[in-house]
Chains A and B, each alone.
Chain A
């Protein structure tokens, strides 16, 4: 538990251990470990969809509170628990985001400057350059539709595979491949303008 750091790559054994501890003993440390592993991922997922850092942070916290209540619903599979749990958590974040969007109007402005997307050790110049690059991408992502944005996020930001993306988006792998192609074409067209 103590060795889990923020943003560490997710391993199957670690994840299963955390889930079991959270389900059986309801250990707060297990939930904290899950939060460290998935907080930034959920935040990015929500940020791309919402475009607002504050709302993304708020919804991220609500997603993990929901995870505490619903952790017993998750069934540990013989394998691929990382992909399954990620898909389950992203789906929970998506539902929570939808609930929030139903209560509030969607944000029209992206407060990208509030995102702490630069590592502490990076220089100021690098932070600005990377911020501009990601800001350009975020500025063009709203031009895409929801599914194209989600595919871009899951496939190229979160680094999920075709199968994981298909499971999260509840589509077939062929549909994800086609959607991935159209998303890259659209994004390239918008970036060239």
Chain B
């Protein structure tokens, strides 16, 4: 026990009436120090304690009593503890709750204030006014037109929304929505502000391009559904004929662009009794399924020189057409065949067609350049076009028989060929260098582009001429032929309108050429079968195909058992 404890115990004993001597006697070792401290403590305790003066005490008591009465007058009616007044707490028990509603006690009764209702009504009124103001402001912002004060705010909000939607992967939907909004603004703006209308038209074009670009990576079906739905929504705007030119022109242009990019199925007249599946392999992920208007005159057939082989290389490099080369999938009346043939579309899975991004369109100079594209197998010998064409068209009866076989064994691909300047078979040394490095058992049907010469065409490569090809379905392969002016007679570029987002080779054939040498006046995409030992088919169009890029395009048509077949029209009987 320390001295502090001894001192505390002695002080407690002194309070109990014990004397200092008894405490010191218990702790003789601390006697001297204890005595002095205990005496001092007793002296301090024994001193008279100061008290409040009588006046001070009375004054304080009066103040406390007055405040207590005031406190009771204010808070006693609202004191929730009054309900507990009857049940007095026992002396040795703690209350369950101290005093619960101290806030009610501390606050004066507010209901007594006459302006309380007015105050609350004012608050509610102010809140309502603020909400209405914000709502009106939002409406004005959303309905603002270019040139308005709030229009930048609208654009800012849309951009923020666009950032979020882009981050969420809804970029295409966002641009499509922006296109619709801008079109609506344009229709509302009318002729009020020509400058703003022009800017809006430009913005709309950008949004359309952005939408198509954003949706370019989608699957085909999803992209088609999206574009068709978008097109449907936009067509709802096309109801007013009183629009100014800029509005109508912009809307028409927008609709045309979207329609071009959308897959369209067209009934193609053909002599073939069975529907032909058309395959248009493109470089874009979205496979384009097109039914092309073809006639017998639009197709170039190729006589088989060798039995149908099995091409080893499935990849075909196709030149891509620029968007300008794309045409709506409408059939020109003058080109509509008399005997329609429905070409069913399908996709050739094994074919991996790579399309360049840009392709010269309508450039005859480029189209006349010799084709320097590498052939898949350039070392293979090729046969002259004329010979092949002559052998192909020698007997029409054979062609008729082959036409019966073609629907089940041919594959049609899009071909960008210039109909006007298509190579002719009688000029093999210059332009009729379309060689078929593949098996000669394939016929190529070319569907030239419209009069512009830059439109895509469809080439149908049809294996025919051999009974083995027809009797052996396993050898039925899809061939993608391209029409390119090839000087080396080996490469076969394929003209594919894949530069646009739609990758839809529009079929607007003007004229087609056959592989027959006597049909020299017709501009055709000539496919020349070359007797090669390897079972690869390379169809080369004429050099006059403006959409071809012969330098870089390489087409290697390899029949694949799993490829989708396209029924080609019957061989042209032009004599």
Report which A residues bind B (CB closer than 8 A). 6-7, 12-13, 16, 20, 22-28, 30-32, 35-36, 39-40, 43-44, 47, 53, 57, 60-61, 64-65, 68-69, 72-79, 112, 114-119, 122, 130-131, 133-134, 137, 152, 155-157, 159, 161-162, 174, 177-178, 180-181, 184-185, 187-188, 191
Q: Which residue of B lies closest to A191 (CB)?
A: B40
- Chain A, Cβ-Cβ closest to B43: A133
- Looking at the assembled complex, report how far the CB atom of A43 sits from the nearest CB atom of chain B, in whole angstroms: 5
B252 located at the interface, meaning its Cβ lies under 8 Å from any Cβ of chain A in the complex: no
B88 CB → nearest A CB, Å: 6
Selected A-B contacts with CB under 8 Å, 29 pairs: A7-B51, A13-B91, A16-B89, A20-B89, A22-B68, A23-B81, A23-B99, A28-B65, A28-B69, A30-B68, A31-B65, A35-B64, A61-B60, A61-B63, A72-B81, A78-B92, A78-B94, A116-B50, A116-B56, A117-B50, A133-B47, A134-B50, A156-B45, A157-B49, A159-B45, A161-B12, A177-B4, A180-B8, A181-B7
Contact indicator per residue, chain B 68-103, by CB within 8 Å of chain A (1) or not (0): 110110011001011011001101111100110010
Q: Are B50 and A32 within 8 A (Cβ)? A: no
B44: Cβ under 8 A from any A Cβ: yes
Contact between chains at A61 and B72 (CB < 8 Å): no
B contact residues around A16 at 8 Å (CB): 89, 91
Contact between B4 and A181 (Cβ–Cβ < 8 Å)? yes
Contact check, B51 vs A40: say whether CB atoms are below 8 A apart. yes
> What's the Cα separation between A155 and B36 when bound, in Å?
17
State whether B48 touches A134 (Cβ < 8 A). yes
Residues of A within 8 A of B45 (CB): 156-157, 159
State A12–B79 Cα separation when bound (angstroms): 25
Residue from B44, B49, B53, B72 within 8 A of A57 (CB atoms)? B53
Contact between chains at A31 and B64 (CB < 8 Å): yes
* B91, A26: Cβ atoms closer than 8 Å: no
Whether B71 contacts A68 by the Cβ 8 Å rule is yes
Contact of B3 among A7, A26, A53, A181 (CB under 8 A): A181
C-alpha spacing A27/B67, complex, angstroms = 11
**Which B residues are closer than 8 A to A by beta carbons?**
3-5, 7-8, 11-12, 15, 36-37, 40-41, 43-45, 47-54, 56-57, 59-61, 63-65, 67-69, 71-72, 75-76, 79, 81-82, 84-85, 88-89, 91-95, 98-99, 102, 105-106
> Can you name 11 extra interface pairs (CB under 8 A) apart from A112-B50, A181-B7, A184-B40?
A16-B89, A25-B85, A27-B68, A30-B68, A57-B52, A60-B60, A65-B64, A72-B105, A76-B89, A156-B41, A191-B40
Q: Do A184 and B69 touch (CB < 8 A)? A: no
Complex formed: what's the CA distance from A152 to B105 in Å?
Answer: 39
Smallest Cβ distance from A68 to chain B, in angstroms?
Answer: 5
Shortest distance from the beta carbon of A62 to any chain B beta carbon, whole Å: 9
Once A26-B75, A74-B98, A181-B37 are accepted as A-B contacts, the answer to whether A57 and B56 lie under 8 Å apart by CB is yes
CA distance A19 to B81 in the complex (A): 13
Chain A contacts of B69 at CB under 8 A?
A: 28
B residues within 8 A CB of A159?
15, 45
Partner of B68 from the list A26, A39, A78, A155 (CB cut-off 8 Å) is A26
> A75 touching B37 by the CB < 8 A rule?
no
Measured between alpha carbons, how far is A137 from B49 in the docked complex, in Å? 11
Interface contact B4-A28, CB-CB below 8 Å:
no
Q: How near does chain B come to A143, taking the closest CB pair, in angstroms?
A: 14
A117 and B51 form a contact (CB under 8 A):
yes
Within the complex, the shortest CB–CB distance from B312 to chain A, in Å, comes to 95
When chains A and B are docked, how far (Å) is the Cα of A43 from the Cα of B92?
Answer: 29
Closest chain-A Cβ to B6's Cβ sits at a distance in Å of 10
**Assuming the A-B contacts A47-B50, A137-B44, are A36 and B61 also in contact, with contact meaning beta carbons closer than 8 angstroms in the complex?**
yes
| A79 in contact with B92 (CB, 8 Å) | yes
Contacts of A134 in B (CB 8 A): 47-50
User: Chain B: which residue is nearest A176 at the CB level?
Assistant: B8
Interchain CB contact under 8 A, B47 and A155: no
